[in-house]
A and B are shown apart, each in its own frame.
Chain A
Amino acid sequence: METSGRLPDTGMSRRTLLALGTGALLLPTARAAQNHTLLLAAWQDRDDQHIGLLAMGQTTWSVQQSLKVPTRAHGLCREADGHVLAVARRPGDWLLRWHPDTGHTQWHWIDTDRRFNGHVIASLDAQTLWTTETDLDSAQGLLGVRDARTLEKTEEWPTHGMDPHQLLALPKAVGSFAAGTLMVANGGIPTLPETGRSKRELGRMDSSLVALHPATGALLGQWRLADPYLSIRHLAFDASSGTLGIALQAEHPDKTGQTAAPVLAVWDGRTLKAAGDQPALAGYGGDICALPGGGFAVSCPRKNMLALFEANGAWRHAIVHRDAYALASASDRWWLASSRAEAGLMHARSGLSTTLTLQPETPAMGALQIDNHWLPFTV
């Protein structure tokens, strides 16, 4: 049975709140008022997992607010009213709503026979949430349709593949696909509860990109790459070109195939194609963001590189960055996090190769391991 809990309604004790939120820094969002950009992020601090807000200044960054969470968080989502959503990394069992200013939390634990796959988004009207999930009986992918108020599931739609990961609602029409169409990345890796730690039967991989109707879940389109060992995982939309960028992760059985595998594919509403002329990047795209002015950046932590592409997938160039991982962009700036707590701020206006490395405000913050994704909270 799925269970939810909302602290303000249930009268959770202060002691319990503190126990759950040990280390929570409920500081006022003063930095935002000082024109610092706030990024919503997840990170590990020693043995503890957190979500929270990081203030990105001109030369330093710092933790502004944080909440301890029971296991590693993955996907994050900012709601229109200032709440944030976080979902556990696959195979995940919790979904959380948290208000950074009030500290209010609302937890939801998934049904025994389902697992969260790490990403959640909200509908534009804020009435619905969609979560990528796996049916543990069949290993098939599901889109959980949830009441945004209660977090309870109201429907399940098939994603027509296994291991659905990130999803995105098209912000504008692309080709024949209307704005709001749900694009879902089926990673394609077979996973079952018995094999939670072991990737089995990779020969059965079936990764695809699907377009689903946001009101009914009807399958509107499905695309596959020619190479079956490329797992379609993370998505970003380049509004200037109307192109969807997809970060790939290679699962080739041979090292040669994996090393040379592309880390980006692009979808233009008609075709899905992998980037062609990139250098060897270890076949692992960690995160992706659309670049200010067009194109995509894909982080490649296994090569300590940031790979930049044109919107059509053509290779642009690489930027060296240690443990490059989380990416976010807004207006004319974009940010890159290292999993070793190094944050790079890129000023698009002053040139894409201009990188300003921000230092952690305190040595302790330098020990944080920032997770795979972050996104602008206030810019």
Chain B
Amino acid sequence: MINNPLLTTRRGALALVAGLLTSIVTPATAQTSAVVAFPFYSGEQALQGLYQHHLPALAQAFEAEAQALTAQARRFCAHPGERADLQAAWRRALLAWQTLSSPAIGPVIERRSQRQIDFWPSRPPLLKKALARKPQNLADMESVGTPAKGFPTMETMLAGEHRVEHCPYLVLIAEGITAEATALRRGFDELATRDWTTDEDAARAAFAEWINQWLGGLERLRWMQIEQPVQRARTAGDKRAPAFARQSMADNTAEWRAQWQALRAQARLKPEQVSQPPQPGQGLIPIEALLMGKGHIALAGRWGQALDAAEAAIGLLPSTPSQDELMALSKTLKGVTTLYQAEVAAALDVPLGFSDADGD
């Protein structure tokens, strides 16, 4: 028996829900649109939208960028010189990775991919040891700790003095990222063909994972990547600069925006969907649509407003934000967290693990 009402396979799931005819006010424009009816979406339909229509393309994009990174690394090592092209390939692959892994669900969790290719911070002493061992292939790299490979270590190597003898290791890091990207693409391809209605327990777990991990992805961005480095620097008492995940602030802000856009895509209706609700089986059904479909019209409105406030705040972030500006951004993002914990997840009938609204 499925407890979550969203996870029902009842025949009427696709039927328009009586009482959901309403005027929708879009906060961005403050205009009242036409009367719109949102269908009730089942949890299985939400999962189908996510895993069949949304994530496979992101996984393919990441795999393609990872392959391009490997190719660029090989070219660079064959003809060492200007590293700008390789750095650009690293950035494109990184953003594609963040877009796929925000939030981290499905194969990204099963494979512990964040740990495998994006362990931060990298550890230079571990890298030094790994370089000394001169691994020859990916099998050799399996014995290298994650803090000495993946995106952060590659960034460190690209920022430092280039040494020809280190080039094979650089290529191996890129190949490792590509291997992970390929494994993820396969994992998401497999999930794309899954019929979620055949296994209620699996569907319930996957839906709860998505709803929980969306919040986890937001908090990873808000706290771990933006606010915590600032707090850590402030409490050190020696006026040190915050240590963000990437070495250049431009890379940090680009990455934060990519993560936010990926989260937002799963949370907010597209403008055209306000008048033309997403149809089950045809595309991603964002969280806002789930709220509308369950009749939580007012909450969906506030949810949209909170997301738009965060969108505006992260869009206005200057290229080199001050600590105060980052704290203000974090506070705005926290507004999304608070609403999600207090109302959105509950409205979707999903208990949050370790929620701030809970004890411990």
The chain A residues found within 8 Å of chain B, CB to CB, are 3, 5-7, 9-12, 16, 19-20, 47, 70-72, 74, 89-91, 93-94, 105, 107, 109, 112, 118, 136-137, 165, 192-200, 233, 255, 284, 286, 301, 325, 372
Contacts and interface: CB of A to CB of B under 8 A. Distances in A.
A194 B235 contact: no
Contacts of B250: none
B213 interface: yes
B12 interface: no
B209 A137 contact: no
A71 B223 contact: yes
B114 A194 contact: yes
B353 A19 contact: no
**Shortest 8 CB-CB distances between A and B: which pairs?**
A10-B237, A197-B216, A107-B235, A198-B212, A12-B237, A199-B353, A197-B212, A5-B236
Contact of A301 (B114, B209, B232, B359): B359
A47 B331 contact: yes
A136 B215 CA distance: 19
Given A93-B228, A255-B3, A5 B216 contact: no
Contact of A70 (B209, B227, B359): B227
B353 A197 contact: yes
A90 B234 contact: no
A320 B232 CA distance: 42
Most chain A beta carbons < 10 A, residue from B114, B216, B352, B355: B216
Interface string B322-360: 000000000100110010000000000000111110011
Nearest to A285: B359
B107 to A, nearest CB: 11
Contact of A90 (B334, B338, B354): B354
Contacts of A200: 109, 209
Contacts of A3: 232, 236
A193 B114 contact: yes
A112 B227 CA distance: 15
A286 B112 contact: no
B141 interface: no
Contacts of B27: none
Nearest to B103: A197
A11 B334 CA distance: 31
Contacts of A286: 359
B63 interface: no
Contacts of B109: 194-195, 200
Nearest to A1: B121
Interface residues of B, number: 39
B360 A89 contact: yes
Contact of B237 (A6, A89, A193, A196): A6
Contacts of B121: 112
Interface string B256-299: 00000000000000000000000000000000000000000000
A354 B345 CA distance: 39
A195 B216 contact: yes
11 contacts: A3-B232, A5-B238, A16-B237, A47-B338, A89-B360, A165-B360, A197-B219, A200-B209, A286-B359, A325-B359, A372-B360
A165 B331 CA distance: 29
B100 interface: no
A198 B356 contact: no
Contacts of A7: 237
B93 interface: no
Contacts of A70: 227-228, 231
Interface in B112-150: 112, 114-115, 119-121
A74 B358 CA distance: 12
A20 B234 contact: yes
A198 B331 contact: no
A192 B213 CA distance: 12
A205 to B, nearest CB: 13
Nearest to A46: B338
B335 to A, nearest CB: 8
A194 B238 contact: no
Nearest to A199: B353
A118 B360 contact: yes
Contact of B353 (A107, A193, A198): A198
B309 to A, nearest CB: 14
A89 B209 CA distance: 21
Given A112-B120, A196-B219, A5 B235 contact: yes
A119 to B, nearest CB: 10
A199 B351 CA distance: 10
A5 B237 contact: yes
A199 B331 CA distance: 26
Most chain B beta carbons < 10 A, residue from A5, A72, A136: A5
